[in-house]
Structure 1
Amino acid sequence: MTKHQKRLSVPNSWPVERKEETFTVKAGAGPHGEAGVPLVIVLRDVLGYVDSVKEARYALNQGTVLVNGDAVSDHRRPIGMFDIIAFTERGEYYRVFPDEGGRLALTPIDEGDAESRLGKVVGKRNVPGGDVQLSLHDGTTLVVDDDAEYAGGDSLVVDSESKDVVAHFVYEEGALVTAVDGAHAGKVGTLDEIRVTPGSGSNTVSVSQDEGDGFETVEEYLVVIDENFVGDEEDAVTTTDTDDDSRIEAADESEDEDEVTEE
């Protein structure tokens, strides 16, 4: 299995310049499927905290970079929508949220908000013992009581430490939603209508916006949120815009290893 990814073939959600280099780092095994962005791209291409894979490895080995409450040492760890990234030494916390071009962006949040994350219910099944197992959009599974009124399409806010559900947003007409894929990725509005498609086709939805004409898409692209999850576009970070003082301290020998696969 190759360790590199051609830039021209990366998903549209990846915040990389496609024509700048031929290759970029390939995401490792983990959540978010093909849409997952390697953590090193967030550190280097989005935040500008490191200049190379070697610097990223060094920084991650310090144990001060957390994803969803857990320290991460793998620079290929996939990052995706609604993940929480914390830089404990810097006191910086971000939620991954799509911008209006559909690219991964980082929205600054308070430390308290970094203690939980949002997940969309994409699967539900009974398990031995009478409980119910829920599957979330990023591959996370939760076991809940069988009387819990959670349905596919609903969103849950999950405490990163206890894994308890601390909030529940129902997928229904009138809900606040955001599109995370498709031509309208990053747009936020109110779900006006759900149109059921007979057979195996995707249901379609209409979304209205306070500012704008609204849009239509398929329901798989929508996630229910609340006002706390709507970031300020002016504060969101989508591309490198940092000075040298903002970089994570790395080893003196910061040159990249001679690997075309990890440019």
Structure 2
Amino acid sequence: MYFNFYPLKQVAPDSWKLNKKEGTYAIRPLSGPHKKNECIPLAYVLEKFLGYANNRKEIQIILKNNNIKINGKIITRRKFPVGFGDVISIEKTSENFRVFFDVTGKFQFHNIDQEEALFKIARVTNKKIMYGDVPYIFTNDGACFKYCDPSININDTVKIDLKSRKVIEFINFSVNKVACVVSGDQAGRIGTIEAISEKITLKDFSDKIFSVSVENIVVIGENEESLLISFT
């Protein structure tokens, strides 16, 4: 099991890129929008990946001064869970990053412009008619939205405006769409959906075929030339 009250570095996810020879314990991420084995504590993002801090004291100063926003909200907790698709904004430096995985399943933080930092994407995990006959959809990052386009279905991808907190676009989950693996052993791989059955069959951009469970992928574009998010 990855997480005890004081999680051992030796069993922390490899995606965190920790030096497991230094120290014994790792930071335990708070409960939040991402599963604990699919996220990384904000402290490690600032220290290990972005290089804005060298120790806990520097991390606390950065957060105490309200310098960090995630998906448009100021975050002050160093254990806050950060995961795929999140937008990290540092207003003091006017920098924005979107969270991805590299092809080895390690976290990556892509520098994005201000326009792209205004939205994020998520996979629809459920849809229901709630109290007062109000239709809701629920996404893999723990969010819910009401009065969305009724043609949005489970496993579709929605584009979310981070200011209005509304769905502004969506892509149906279907054959020939481009998808990214966001969890599991093949996290970070990108390919075109070839077939949909018990497992989803994809072909990557090197024409290699692989299969994953549907809950492990997020559709990111209609085709290779039309992606919702950039990777450069």
Q: Same fold (TM over 0.5)?
A: yes
Which of 160, 163, 170 matches 1:161?
Answer: 163
Determine helix, strand or coil for the equivalent of 2:61. Answer: helix
What does 1:241-252 correspond to in 2, within 5 Å?
none
Determine helix, strand or coil for the equivalent of 1:60. Answer: helix
Higher mean C-alpha displacement, 116-125 vs 203-212: 203-212
2:136 and 2:13 map into 1 onto residues whose CA distance is 30
Determine helix, strand or coil for the equivalent of 1:4. Answer: coil
Q: Residues 12 and 141 of structure 1: is their aligned pair in 2 closer, same or farther, counting only changes over 3 Å? A: farther
Deviation for aligned residue 1:26: 1.1
Q: Give ranges in structure 1 of 5+ residues lacking alignment.
A: 196-202, 233-263
2:119 and 2:135 map into 1 onto residues whose CA distance is 21
Residue in structure 1 matched with residue 224 of structure 2 by the alignment: none
Q: Deviations over 1:136-194 (max 9, x none)?
A: 1111121224x621111111011111111111011001111011122321111110100
1:19 and 1:171 map into 2 onto residues whose CA distance is 42
Deviation for aligned residue 1:60: 0.8
Which of 95, 100, 111 matches 1:97?
Answer: 100
Q: Residues 37 and 139 of structure 1: is their aligned pair in 2 closer, same or farther, counting only changes over 3 Å? A: same
Q: Give ranges in structure 2 of 5+ residues lacking alignment.
A: 222-226
1:113 aligns with 2:113: no
Deviation for aligned residue 1:78: 0.6
Identity across matched positions, percent: 25
Which of 22, 31, 34 matches 2:33?
Answer: 31
Residue in structure 2 matched with residue 246 of structure 1 by the alignment: none
2:172 and 2:129 map into 1 onto residues whose CA distance is 20
1:169 and 1:213 map into 2 onto residues whose CA distance is 24
2:187 and 2:29 map into 1 onto residues whose CA distance is 22
1:229 aligns with 2:229: yes
- AA of the residue aligned to 2:196: I
Determine helix, strand or coil for the equivalent of 2:10. Answer: helix
Q: Residues 2 and 53 of structure 1: is their aligned pair in 2 closer, same or farther, counting only changes over 3 Å? A: farther
Residue in structure 2 matched with residue 16 of structure 1 by the alignment: 18
- AA of the residue aligned to 1:126: I
What does 1:45-194 correspond to in 2, within 5 Å?
45-145=48-148, 148-194=150-196
Deviation for aligned residue 1:2: 6.8
Determine helix, strand or coil for the equivalent of 1:129. Answer: helix
- AA of the residue aligned to 2:178: L
CA contact (8 A) 2:200 2:211 kept: yes
Q: TM-score, with normalisation over the residues of structure 2? A: 0.90
Which of 193, 208, 211 matches 2:206?
Answer: 211
Determine helix, strand or coil for the equivalent of 1:74. Answer: coil
Determine helix, strand or coil for the equivalent of 1:184. Answer: coil
Determine helix, strand or coil for the equivalent of 2:47. Answer: helix
Higher RCO, Cα 8 Å, sep 6+: 1
Deviation for aligned residue 1:84: 0.3
Deviation for aligned residue 1:85: 0.1
Q: Deviations over 1:72-115 (max 9, x none)?
A: 11111110110000011101100001111111110111111101
1:14 and 1:141 map into 2 onto residues whose CA distance is 28
CA contact (8 A) 2:96 2:112 kept: yes
CA contact (8 A) 1:177 1:188 kept: yes
Q: TM-score, with normalisation over the residues of structure 1? A: 0.80
CA contact (8 A) 1:188 1:209 kept: yes
1:230 and 1:87 map into 2 onto residues whose CA distance is 19
CA RMSD, aligned part only?
A: 1.7
